Amino acid sequence: MNQEAQSKIDAALRDLCSGDIGPARTAARLPNKDVYLACALADLEGVDSFIREDAGWVTRTGGPNGWEPIQYACYSGWTLYRPELKGDLVEIVKLLLASGANPNACHVLPENGRWPQTLLYACSGILNHADLTELLLKAGADINEGLPEPDPNDPGKSPWGPEALYHATEFKDTACLELLLKAGPRRLYVSYCLARALDFENPAAIGLFLRYGADPDFQVPWAQNRAHLHRAIINGRSAEIAELLIKAGACLAARDKRGFTAYRYAVRYGRIEIQRLLESRGESDATASDRELGLLMQGISGVTPTEPIDPALANDAARRNDVRALTALAGAGGDLNALHGGMAPLHEAAWWGRLESVRFLIARGADLHASNSYGGDALSTAIHGSLNCFGGGAGPAAYLPEEAPAGDYPGIVELLVEAGAKVPAHGDGSPSVRLVLRRHLGALGSAE
């Protein structure tokens, strides 16, 4: 194969395994004489033919990422575009495993080296493919992903949650999540990953975690020592989810580092249904100031709070796309540029893809160029969120470019650039975001 043809195949493989399916569509038209491309394209006939000719290649690393063939098969997003090939992909992985492929093959990312990027993570946390997940587990995939035994007394010593279990929480369909939990990961991992599940309104997932042994009172040290019920309230989860935690034995008197109980958070954040649920169980420790802040979070204007407005409230409203609450908070003197947890409200909205919040905050003079504690401005935060945030229940990688929501990240990037945010020279982000950035970079180039 000549160098030009091999370069095209390598480029297609990189695209297929990075979630950028659009450019990779040309891969199907490439002369398929590459074992790694055959795996990534779910080409069952091709893979079978390669194995018959030389089964030794099954464990050889190669291709642009230096991976084993089974990694290209499991990390390829091709079946998101061609779902009719999902069955063929399962058969390919079966063939590879039967020929000696390692069910625990993995790689590490330079920026994320503590967490192995395993096949189990690819199949459950990216493809959300239950048949592949089950196949790997039966073949001996390590549910704990080779991570060291966690030390609850030293949270910096090791990761507290494997990638597969952590990211399987991000889908409404809980089939993969249940398979992983049934496989018996360490209880601390189960308890910790419940915190990630509480980022989404998915009672079925919460119920599974609790059924498989998650501690409802687990506190994350680097998140203000909040227990799961605190987190559920702050994240805007429903009373149904709060009740699941309470029935599982959540301690209503538990306090975080600020000394706040779940009830105080319910009042401060205006979570009326959960407030009533907790009152029915005898909780009543909120202050007058908590109740004032709760009215503002319900979007009730004209309230004059007796204490400075907690910056966390504006972040929460921005994350929920609640412009009414943002308006009330701003009217009562809330600082819309204050950092909470290292993020200003504009960064929070940009990260979660909340278009209306971003529009409101820009109009109210939010600082476009201020950095958050991660070193990014609002635009870079939106770009990063377009690739990594699963705020809608499924992240942009789950969409084909033309299926990505018209608003959200592309719309936010458009708004920020038009408002004066500096366009990065090398645009990253989801495919739809990259299109917006390229267009603006082109316009800048033509102007110069």
DSSP conformation letters of 205-273? HHHHHHHTT--TT--BTTTTTB-HHHHHHHTT--HHHHHHHHHTT--TT---TT---HHHHHHHTT-HH
Residue 113, pLDDT score = 65
For range 110-121, the mean pLDDT: 84
Residue 21, pLDDT score = 64
Residue with tokens 């003197």: 333
Per residue in 234-249, pLDDT tens?
A: 989 999 999 999 999 9
In a domain, 435, yes or no: yes
In a domain, 379, yes or no: yes
Q: Which two three-digit tokens encode residue 98?
A: 């039967």
In a domain, 21, yes or no: no
Residue 424, pLDDT score = 87
Task: List all residues 6 or more positions away from 328 whose beta carbon is below 8 Å from its beta carbon.
Answer: 295, 296, 297, 298, 299, 300, 301, 303
* Nearest residue to 126 (alpha-carbon basis) of 162, 167, 91: 167
Q: How far apart are the first and last CA of the chain?
A: 42
pLDDT(261) > 60: yes
In a domain, 290, yes or no: no
At 262, the pLDDT band (50, 70, 90 cuts) reads: very high
Residue 395, pLDDT score = 45
Task: List all residues 6 or more positions away from 392 whose beta carbon is below 8 Å from its beta carbon.
Answer: 353, 405, 408
Q: What is the CA radius of gyration of the chain?
A: 24
Instruction: Compute the CA torsion angle 161, 431, 371, 338 (nearest 10 deg).
Output: -80
Query: Among 140-149, 204-213, 439-448, whose mean pLDDT is lowest?
Result: 439-448
For the chain, percent of residues with pLDDT exceeding 90: 67
In a domain, 364, yes or no: yes
In a domain, 158, yes or no: no
pLDDT(446) > 60: no
Is the CB of residue 432 less than 8 Å from the CB of residue 398?
A: no
For range 262-288, the mean pLDDT: 97
Is the CB of residue 227 less than 8 Å from the CB of residue 238?
A: no
* Nearest residue to 343 (alpha-carbon basis) of 310, 309, 377: 377
Residue 447, pLDDT score = 36
Q: What angle do CA 184, 190, 195 make, to 5 degrees?
A: 160
pLDDT(43) > 50: yes
In a domain, 248, yes or no: no
Between CA 442 and CA 391 the distance in angstroms is: 30
Look up residue 286 and give its amino acid: A
pLDDT(76) > 50: yes
pLDDT(444) > 60: no
Q: Which residues pair with 343 in a beta bridge?
A: 340
Residue with tokens 């998101």: 80
pLDDT(350) > 90: yes
In a domain, 408, yes or no: yes
Per residue in 3-42, pLDDT tens?
A: 888 888 888 899 888 866 665 666 667 766 789 999 999 9
Range of the domain at 428: 334-448
Going by DSSP bridges, is the β-strand pair 106-107/117-118 parallel, antiparallel, or unpaired?
A: antiparallel
Instruction: Compute the CA torsion angle 365, 370, 372, 378 (nearest 10 deg).
Output: 60
* Nearest residue to 42 (alpha-carbon basis) of 127, 106, 145, 124: 127
State phi, psi for 21 to the nearest 5 degrees. -75, -30
Show contacts of 239-248: CB within 8 Å, 24+ apart.
239/273, 239/274, 239/277, 240/203, 241/198, 241/201, 241/203, 241/206, 242/274, 242/277, 242/278, 243/277, 244/203, 244/206, 244/207, 244/210, 245/206, 245/210, 245/216, 246/277, 246/281, 248/210, 248/214, 248/216
Residue 394, pLDDT score = 46
Is the CB of residue 274 less than 8 Å from the CB of residue 258?
A: no
pLDDT(362) > 80: yes
Residue 396, pLDDT score = 41
Residue 224, pLDDT score = 87
Look up residue 252 and give its amino acid: L
Residue 12, pLDDT score = 87
Task: List all residues 6 or more positions away from 31 whose beta carbon is below 8 Å from its beta carbon.
Answer: 1, 5
- The domain total for the chain is 1
Between CA 43 and CA 91 the distance in angstroms is: 10
* Nearest residue to 359 (alpha-carbon basis) of 309, 416, 434, 295: 416
Is the CB of residue 159 less than 8 Å from the CB of residue 149?
A: no
DSSP conformation letters of 361-410? HHHTT--SS---TTS--HHHHHHHHHHH--TTSS-GGGS-GGGS-SSHHH
Is the CB of residue 17 less than 8 Å from the CB of residue 76?
A: yes
At 323, the pLDDT band (50, 70, 90 cuts) reads: very high
- The average confidence (pLDDT) of the chain is 89
* CATH code for position 341: 1.25.40.20
Coarse DSSP helix, strand, coil percentages of the chain, rounded to the nearest 5 percent:
55, 0, 45
Q: Which two three-digit tokens encode residue 85?
A: 């090939």
Per residue in 376-420, pLDDT tens?
A: 999 999 998 887 775 444 444 444 444 444 448 999 999 999 999
Query: Among 347-361, 365-379, 387-401, whose mean pLDDT is lowest?
Result: 387-401
Between CA 370 and CA 362 the distance in angstroms is: 13
